[in-house]
Amino acid sequence: MPEVYLDHYAATAALPEVVEEMKPYFSEKFGNPSSLHGWGDDARKAVEEARARVAALINAEPGEVIFTSGGTEANNLAVKGIAWAARKKGNHVVVSAVEHFSVLHAARTLEKFGMEVTEVPVDSYGMVDPESIKEAITSDTVLVSVMTANGEIGTIQPVQEIAAAAAEKGVGFHTDAVAAAGYIPLDVKTMGADAVSIASDLLYGPKGVGALWVRKGRRLMALLDGGVQEGGRRGGTENVPGIVGMGKAAELAARDLETRAEYLRGMSSELLKWLPESIPRLSVTGHMEKRLPWNASFVVEFIEGEGMLLFLDQKGIAVSSGSACTSRALKGSHVLTACSIPAEIAQGSLLFSFGLDNKPEDVDYVIETLPPIVERLRQMSPLYDKFLKQGGG
Amino acid sequence: MVEIAQYSDTVMDHFMNPRNVGEIESADGVGEVGNPVCGDMMTFYIDVDEDERIKDVKFKTFGCGAAIAVSSMVSEMAMGKTLDEALQISRGDVAEQLGGLPENKMHCSNLGADALHKAIEDYKSKKAVKEG
């Protein structure tokens, strides 16, 4: 049976070059970057080289990159850290409704501490209108946070326009680029952001490492107090092997960005084109053109996502879903809800996230495997019954 | 294959090969529970013989693997039982027969017994109308 992994948004396999580069930093060059001796030097040089490589991925200055424990910490540090450092200037934060939970929930924590948060809605493609950001900004606003692209539906946001809207009102702008970095070109010099989050694990690097780029001069309150690592903005001994791995992963991502994007786009666009042709009452979620190259997301009417995942797994296909039943909290995807997709249709969500290890044949295998699974589940579904009886089909 | 969502082998068997899926045309009793917005919805159909025994049962379910397995198990448990016996089938019995259900699926997906009981009530109220 083929094994087709199409869940790269959940995890990617660290590339062999990445693992090789990390290896010496576990037992051989195990020093602490803060130490003033040879072991410390080796570790410090490795961390600084990684910082330069990560900075290069987004055309930033290395000194402005802070390593974190992942995308979640980078987003928390940006949202809480920037807003809290600016709280004497104002107490209002603007986010979009489709942000990752590490932004949305960080904003909710700020609310508990007395700040105000506006969640700007999106259109049915999950797109934020820069005008609505402008309207949401008040004289009290200290931060706008809108993601570069949404991983669940692939929609790429007009970040440059949003950054311009924030800058016009003198407000800081953070963008969560975890799903986008390495897949679409990002240049902090032209995008107009003040802070950008990225993570290693979507770039074929190790888990548990990420980075926040913060424009020089932008005030930031640390979340982790401790030593003066990362310029005092993130205490704690550095995760040297992880950081080295992220550095290598970022270097490869920058080098191969165009070829990777083209390769992934080839497969995802085939699936986006053919799956709706093969299965009636299946629709694409997110924007068709302004879309991450690795993302193919859908909703299938009358059935629920977990059932599809279980049957697909039996056929060796690994994907994910934003349905309530597949989430541990049993809540449907807030992203699909924000796109005004009715709750019962959002239950049939499927997310295919392509990666470098996929082959064009994988698309054919999905297109041949999924329709009978959908048909089988629909035959069990009372909603499909009702639809047929109402003359649909 | 992996153990997804910590489902038991029995749950996976009933999910992969559900028993008694379908619909009974002009059934003696029909029961529908749940709603698609929360993620699970089940419809049970029963036919009852003159001794008040369930002679046929069918179901349709919209929901996760657990919801489908629960429906299938309930249909199997109810088949051939008297109405009084079938009314005794509880959510707990169903979960037990399935070799357990993940904690977070105990409530939302374990609606099969309720749907069956509703179908029985529907049969009884129809009969009362007929005899009334």
Q: Under a CB-based contact definition with an 8 Å cutoff, are residues B43 and B84 in contact?
A: no
**So what CATH class is B4-125?**
alpha beta
Q: Does B5 touch chain A (CB under 8 A)?
A: yes
Considering only the beta carbons, identify the residue of B1, B60, B65 that sits closest to A306. Answer: B65
Structural domain spans, chain B: 4-125
The catalytic residues of A are: 325
Top-confidence residue, A321 or A326: A321
Whole-angstrom CA distances from A87 to A196, A220, A248, A367 are: 20, 11, 37, 52
Secondary structure (DSSP) of A233-264: TS-S---HHHHHHHHHHHHHHHHHHHHHHHHH
* % of chain A beyond a pLDDT of 90: 96
B38 is catalytic: yes
Average pLDDT, chain B: 91
The Cα–Cα gap between B101 and B110 comes to 9
Place B35 in a pLDDT band, splitting at 50, 70 and 90: confident
Task: Tell me whether residues B41 and A382 touch, CB distance under 8 A.
Answer: yes
For A153, half-sphere exposure in the C-beta direction (CA atoms, 13 angstrom radius) is 33
Place B38 in a pLDDT band, splitting at 50, 70 and 90: confident
3-state secondary structure of A19: helix
Q: Which of A270-279, A318-327, A334-343 has the lowest mean pLDDT?
A: A318-327
Q: Does B64 touch chain A (CB under 8 A)?
A: yes
Contacts of A379 in chain B (CB under 8 A): 21
Give the gap in angstroms from C-alpha A388 to the nearest C-alpha of chain B.
Answer: 13
Residues A192, A193, A199, A204, Cα dihedral to 10° = 0
Residue B86 has pLDDT above 80, yes or no: yes
pLDDT (tens digit, 9 = 90+) per residue, A159-208?
A: 999 999 999 999 999 999 999 999 999 999 999 999 999 999 999 999 99
Q: Which residues pair with A210 in a beta bridge?
A: A68, A199
**A218: Cβ–Cβ under 8 A, 6 or more apart, which residues?**
A82, A172, A194, A195
What is the interface pTM, i.e. ipTM, of the complex?
0.91
Considering only the beta carbons, identify the residue of B16, B62, B64 that sits closest to A302. Answer: B62
Quick one: pLDDT at residue A328? 67
The Cα–Cα gap between A146 and A329 comes to 24
Task: Tell me whether residues B61 and A332 touch, CB distance under 8 A.
Answer: no
* Chain A residue closest in CA terms to B21: A380
Q: Does B78 touch chain A (CB under 8 A)?
A: no
For residues A274-281, average pLDDT: 97
Place A323 in a pLDDT band, splitting at 50, 70 and 90: confident
For residues B68-82, average pLDDT: 97
Give the gap in angstroms from C-alpha A207 to the nearest C-alpha of chain B.
Answer: 22
- pTM for this model (two decimals): 0.94
Contacts of A313 in chain B (CB under 8 A): 1-2, 4
Catalytic residue among B2, B4, B37, B38: B38
Question: How many CB pairs lie under 8 A apart between chains A and B?
Answer: 80
